[in-house]
Structure 1
């Protein structure tokens, strides 16, 4: 028989999945907790026992989606050889572009934009756990490669920010406004950005 902890975790995941679908379908304001409870096959009291409020439920959905999209990506391995740097950056870039263009991610961004006047903390949380977290990881990655002599001694924050926003800036803007059909494939975007970074900062092979 599953433990109480396992049953609680399954209920929590069921609530998050039902809530995610409700928010994506109806937006934050129109999503109904009673409907979410029915879809998750739990009581409304159970929802409140896991999440204190509708706002907390929504931010938990954001965290849950981000965590799901953050697993399984290519490692940020600073020991990569100069000869393999372009391929490594391309693989990282493909994952970042695909994440930015994930239909659920784009839909959640639209919800946060709509809710910004009433719930600015939604966007603050999202930015902290996506753009800021990704930039911080890339800063560490590029700084470690600088110490190894793989890339030039440029300011790591500048390199990380340039790499990230060359990858996701246009895809996010186009995806939010028009959908993803007008954009090149993620690999084409990532390969072009990797070429730019390697040419600007890569150390020549000996």
Structure 2
């Protein structure tokens, strides 16, 4: 076997090991168990040593950053909401709300939430302790803002209000999703419709 072929085989084996670790990390995080946010836990799940994790990702910061990048790749990049120029603001908001609602219970969304709950709450602390993870999260946020801006790009809307809505929607949808997992008499279909109409009215109204 030539040196080049041997190197190719080692690289392929390394790629397979990396993929197995990322899959194990997602399985751990999607369980919702706070104790799963551990590089050692991921290593055991993947059947490898901490040294193997360190070799692939450098440290725990590199692992979580790689998980977030992997999720972005699986999603296929930023969300998109294709539609015609004739669609109203309300129809576009409804598309975004519906997409978020359907996605919140998916394993990938649970994995992200579990990871975020375990990270430092203060941005400065997060950036100091886990700079690569912080950068990945910041990239996700910027991608989301751009998604919302693109969804309304052909309409003459106040750009500040679009950014405000982009900041509001993820938290608002998580609140409704949390309510759905509790004993409740709230009509969540009605709640989503009210949220959609309120946001559409805000976006379509005259600036204050």
| TM-score (norm. length: structure 1) | 0.65
CA distance in 1, matches of 2:147, 2:78: 13
- Over the aligned positions, Cα root-mean-square deviation in angstroms equals 3.9
1:124 maps onto 2:134 in alignment: yes
Cα distance, 1:123 vs. partner? 6.6
CA distance in 2, matches of 1:77, 1:60: 29
Q: 2:70 pairs with 61, 64, 67, which one?
A: 64
Which ranges in structure 1 are unaligned for 5 or more consecutive residues?
147-152
Corresponding residue number in structure 1 for 2:158: 155
CA distance in 1, matches of 2:138, 2:77: 20
Report how many aligned residue pairs link the two structures: 186
Corresponding residue number in structure 2 for 1:81: 86
CA distance in 2, matches of 1:195, 1:105: 28
CA distance in 2, matches of 1:16, 1:202: 43
CA distance in 2, matches of 1:47, 1:108: 17
Cα distance, 1:17 vs. partner? 2.3
| Equivalent residues of 2:97, 2:173 under 8 A apart | no
State which drifts further: 74-83 or 101-110.
74-83
CA distance in 1, matches of 2:54, 2:164: 39
Corresponding residue number in structure 1 for 2:117: 110
Corresponding residue number in structure 1 for 2:95: 91
